[in-house]
Amino acid sequence: MASRPDLKAVETYLLALQDQITAALRVLDPGAEQREDHWERPGGGGGRTRVIRAGRVFEQCGINFSHVQGERLPPSASAQRPELAGRRFEALGVSLVAHPLNPYVPSSHLNLRFFQAEQDGAEPVWWFGGGFDLTPYYGFEEDVVHWHRNARAACEPFGADLYPRFKSWCDEYFFIKHRQEPRGVGGIFFDDFDQGGFESAFAFWRHVGDHYLTGYLPIVERRRGMRYGEREREFQKIRRGRYVEFNLVQDRGTLFGLQSGGRTESILVSMPPEVSWRYDHRPAPGTPESELLERFLVVRDWLGEG
C-alpha cells in the first residue's frame, strides 16, 4: 500500500527552502531592502511572503510560502483532474520569481507545490508539482546549457526519463499562446506527480527544490557586472511585458491563488516592478535583441541529446 502523505514534513521542508533561498539572495545583494509579511486566509490557512527589492542586483524578488485549506478545490487545480472538483483541499507551496536589475541577468522562477484533495469515505488523493525555468533578455549559450545540465542533474537519480519528459512539459507549459512564443528557455515542469508513493515522490520533489540555487546563482554571478545602457534596459522592460501577459492570462499558479482567495499582494509579487509595452515591437535584424528571439526563444535540445 502506498505510504500516506506527511504534510508536516512537506511544510518543514518548504519553510527551510524559503529560508535557504532568501539567505543566498541576500548574500548576492546585501544592500537590498527586505520585507516579510505573515498573512492569514479567511477560508483557512495563510502564508509568509518575503520581498527583496531595490538592490544593486535584484530589482525585485518575491519568495512566497503558503499553506491553505478550503472546502472546494478551485477550478484551476481540478482542471486536469475533473473527478476531484468540489473536494476539500489542502495546498502547500513555495513560489519564487527573481527579477534582476541588470538586463544581462535573466529572470528565474521556482515553484514547488503539494496538493491533497479529500472526500468523506475515500482515501485522500495527493500529488506534487513544480519545477524551475529561466527567462533571459539577452542570450548566452553557456548560461542556458548550464541551466539545463543542472535541471537534468535534479532529475537523473530518479529516472533517466524524467528530465526529457519534464523539459518538454516545461516547453509546452511556458509557451505564450497568444504570442506564439516561449516565455524563456525553459527548464523542467511537472504536475500530478505521485510516482513510487509518497516517500519517493517527496524525495524527488525535494531534489528539484535543492537544485534551484545551483542552477541560478552561477549565472547571476557571471552576468551581474556586465555594463548596460538605456537600450538594454528598455528591451528588458518590453520582454518583461511578455512575462506579465503569461502570468495573468495562462499561469495556473496565479489563477489558483486568486481563485482560492489567497493574498493578492503575495500572488502578484511575481510581477516585475517596471515594464513596458510597445505596439508591434520588432528588434532590428542582426542585433542581440533579435538573436534572443531567433536563437534562444525557440524549443531546442540544449544538451544535444536528441
Map residue 174 onto helix, strand or coil.
Answer: coil
Q: Which of 31-35, 82-86, 248-252, 277-281 has the lowest mean pLDDT?
A: 82-86
Residue 56 confidence (pLDDT) above 60? yes
Contact 118, 88 (CB under 8 A): yes
Residue 109 annotated as binding site: yes
Residues in contact with 246: Cβ distance below 8 Å, sequence separation at least 6, in sequence order: 174, 176, 183
pLDDT of residue 78: 57
Residue 113 annotated as binding site: yes
pLDDT of residue 258: 80
Residue 2 confidence (pLDDT) above 60? no
pLDDT of residue 77: 62
Domain 7-296: CATH class, spelled out = alpha beta
Residue predicted with more confidence, 267 or 97:
97
Active-site residue 67, yes or no?
no
Q: Which of 11-20, 41-50, 142-151, 163-172 has the lowest mean pLDDT?
A: 41-50
Contacts 24+ apart (CB under 8 A), 256-259: 256/74, 256/76, 256/77, 256/91, 257/66, 259/74, 259/75, 259/76
pLDDT of residue 43: 79
Please, what is the average pLDDT of the chain?
Answer: 92
Tally of CB atoms within 10 A around 15: 15
pLDDT of residue 1: 36
Residue 148 annotated as binding site: yes
pLDDT of residue 3: 66
Where are the domains positioned within the chain?
A: 7-296
User: What distance separates the 2 farthest-apart alpha carbons in the chain?
Assistant: 63
Identify the active-site residue in 67, 109, 146, 211: 109
Contact 21, 109 (CB under 8 A): no
Residue 38 annotated as binding site: no
User: How much of the chain, in percent, has pLDDT values that exceed 70?
Assistant: 93
Residue 306 confidence (pLDDT) above 70? no
pLDDT digits (tens, 9 = 90+) for 220-251: 999 999 999 999 999 999 999 999 999 999 98
pLDDT of residue 75: 67
CA distance 277 to 241: 6
Q: Read off the pTM.
A: 0.93
Residue 95 annotated as binding site: yes
pLDDT digits (tens, 9 = 90+) for 118-167: 876 677 889 999 999 999 999 999 999 999 999 999 999 999 999 999 99
Indicate the length of the chain as a whole number. Answer: 306
Residue 80 confidence (pLDDT) above 90? no
